[in-house]
C-alpha cells in the first residue's frame, strides 16, 4: 500500500499549509524606494514606465510616506533628482542636497522609520555616470571614492539610518566606513550593493531618476550577468571592507546569486526587485494577462525562499495599503 510519498497530505487544508510553510514575508522585510524631486515641493509626476510610482516633491513625498507609514511601512530608500547636475555630482554631497533635505524632514516626523540613503553620483552628474569621468571618457575609480565618502557623511549628518552605496567603484565601502567613523557615525550601518549586475532591467529606473549615462554604459563598473564566481569575490571584498548588509541586484533573474551569497556569508542579505521587474509585472497585470498582486507576492516569497532577509520592492507600499502583508 505505502509505495509512494503522499505529498498532498500536508496540502489538504489551509491551516495545515500555513503551519508547514517554510518562508514568510513580514512587513519589516520590505523597503519601499521613493524618487524625490528638488524643483518644487508640490511636484508630482507619474513615472510613465513604472505605473503606480511617482517623482515627488518634498511635500508630496511626505504625504505618500505618511500614508505608507499608516499602512505599516517600516523602511524606505531615497533617490534624488536635483535641479542642477554637474560633472562632479556636487548635489549628491551638498549639505542641502535634495536627499539630505528629505531625510531631515522624514526623520523629524517619523524618527522610528528606517531611512536608507542610496549613495551614488549618477543622479547628480551631468554625464550620468556613477563616478568622475576623465577627458577620455573613462570612469575614474580612486578619485571618485572621496566624493562617495562625502555623500555618505552628508546623508548620515542629515539622519540617514543606513548608507547604501550603489556605484560599484572598487574600495568604496572601505572609504565610506572610514569617513563615517571619522565623523563619529560609528553605528551607521552600510548596506552595500555588493553584487550588482550591469542589467537592462534598470531601464525604467533611469527614466524615474533621470540618470541614464549620456555616453557609453556601466559595463566597466557593474558586473557581467554571466558571472557568479565574480559575485563571491565582490561580496567578500565588501565584507572585508566593513559592509554590514550585502545586497544582490537585480532580484528575480538572480535568485541563484542570492542563494550563493546566503550560503557563503553570514551577514544579512538584501535583494533588490528592480524597476524592470516591477514594470513587467505591472504591464502584464494591466493587460489582464496575470494577477498582479498574486504574482508580486509570489516573487517576494521567492526572494525569501532564496535566502534574502530584506527586499527592496516598488510593490511594498501598495501591498501594505491593501493589507496583503
Annotated binding-site members: 120, 122, 130, 206, 218, 234, 275, 314
Give the binding range for ligand PBG (CB under 6 A) out of 145-153, 200-208, 226-234, 262-270. Answer: 200-208
| Residue that has been written with the C-alpha cell 531611512 in this structure | 115
Q: Does 77 bind ligand PBG (CB under 6 A)?
A: no
> How many Å apart are CA 124 and CA 258, to the nearest integer?
30
Q: Does 34 bind ligand PBG (CB under 6 A)?
A: no
196 among known catalytic residues = yes
- Report the residue count for the chain: 325
Comparison of 150 and 218: residue with beta carbon closer to ligand PBG: 218
Comparison of 57 and 80: residue with beta carbon closer to ligand PBG: 80
Shortest CB 169 distance to ligand PBG, Å? 11
The catalytic residue among 196, 214, 219, 282 is 196
Q: Hey, how many other C-beta atoms are within 10 angstroms of the C-beta on 286?
A: 12
Give the binding range for ligand PBG (CB under 6 A) out of 96-104, 117-125, 177-185, 254-262. Answer: 117-125
Q: Does 118 bind ligand PBG (CB under 6 A)?
A: yes
Instruction: Please identify the residue of the shown chain whose CB is closest to the bound ligand PBG.
Output: 205
249 among known catalytic residues = yes
> How many Å apart are CA 73 and CA 80, to the nearest integer?
20
Q: Hey, how many other C-beta atoms are within 10 angstroms of the C-beta on 183?
A: 15
Among 185, 202, 303, 315, the residue binding ligand PBG under the rule CB under 6 A is 202
Comparison of 183 and 210: residue with beta carbon closer to ligand PBG: 210
Contact 56, 64 (CB under 8 A): yes
Shortest CB 125 distance to ligand PBG, Å? 11
Specify binding-site residues for Mg(2+): 234
Cα 144 from chain centroid? Answer: 21
- Residues numbered 42 to 61 that lie near ligand PBG (CB under 6 A) are none
Among 31, 65, 120, 308, the residue binding ligand PBG under the rule CB under 6 A is 120
Q: Does 130 bind ligand PBG (CB under 6 A)?
A: yes
Q: Does 122 bind ligand PBG (CB under 6 A)?
A: yes
The catalytic residue among 85, 249, 282, 304 is 249
Comparison of 9 and 141: residue with beta carbon closer to ligand PBG: 141
Active-site positions? 196, 249
Amino acid at each position: 500500500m505505502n509505495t509512494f510519498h503522499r505529498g498532498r497530505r500536508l496540502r489538504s487544508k489551509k491551516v495545515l499549509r500555513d503551519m508547514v510553510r517554510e518562508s514568510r514575508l513580514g512587513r519589516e522585510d520590505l523597503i519601499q524606494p521613493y524618487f524625490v524631486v528638488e524643483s518644487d515641493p508640490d511636484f508630482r509626476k507619474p513615472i510613465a514606465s513604472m505605473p503606480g510610482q511617482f517623482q515627488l516633491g518634498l511635500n508630496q513625498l511626505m504625504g505618500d510616506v505618511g500614508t505608507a507609514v499608516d499602512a505599516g511601512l517600516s523602511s524606505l530608500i531615497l533617490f534624488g533628482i536635483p535641479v542642477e547636475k554637474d560633472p562632479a555630482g556636487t548635489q549628491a554631497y551638498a549639505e542641502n542636497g535634495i536627499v539630505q533635505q528629505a531625510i531631515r524632514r522624514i526623520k523629524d516626523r517619523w524618527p522610528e522609520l528606517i531611512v536608507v540613503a542610496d549613495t551614488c553620483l549618477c543622479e547628480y552628474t551631468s554625464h550620468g555616470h556613477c563616478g568622475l569621468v576623465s577627458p577620455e571618457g573613462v570612469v575614474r575609480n580612486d578619485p571618485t571614492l572621496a566624493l562617495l565618502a562625502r555623500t555618505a557623511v552628508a546623508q548620515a549628518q542629515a539622519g540617514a539610518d543606513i548608507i547604501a552605496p550603489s556605484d560599484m567603484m572598487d574600495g568604496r565601502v572601505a572609504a565610506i566606513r572610514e569617513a563615517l567613523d571619522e565623523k563619529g557615525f560609528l553605528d551607521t550601518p552600510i548596506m552595500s550593493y555588493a553584487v550588482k549586475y550591469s542589467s537592462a532591467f534598470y531601464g525604467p529606473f533611469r527614466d524615474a531618476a533621470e540618470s541614464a549615462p549620456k555616453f557609453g554604459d556601466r559595463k566597466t563598473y557593474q558586473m557581467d550577468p554571466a558571472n557568479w564566481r565574480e559575485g563571491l569575490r565582490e561580496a567578500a571584498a565588501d565584507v572585508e571592507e566593513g559592509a554590514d548588509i550585502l545586497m544582490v541586484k537585480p532580484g528575480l533573474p538572480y535568485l541563484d546569486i542570492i542563494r550563493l551569497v546566503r550560503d557563503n556569508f553570514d551577514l544579512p542579505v538584501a535583494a533588490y526587485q528592480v524597476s524592470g521587474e516591477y514594470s513587467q509585472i505591472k504591464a502584464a497585470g494591466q493587460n489582464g494577462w496575470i494577477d498582479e498582486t498574486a504574482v508580486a507576492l509570489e516573487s517576494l516569497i521567492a526572494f525569501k525562499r532564496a535566502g534574502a532577509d530584506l527586499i527592496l520592492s516598488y510593490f511594498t507600499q501598495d501591498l501594505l495599503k491593501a493589507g496583503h502583508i
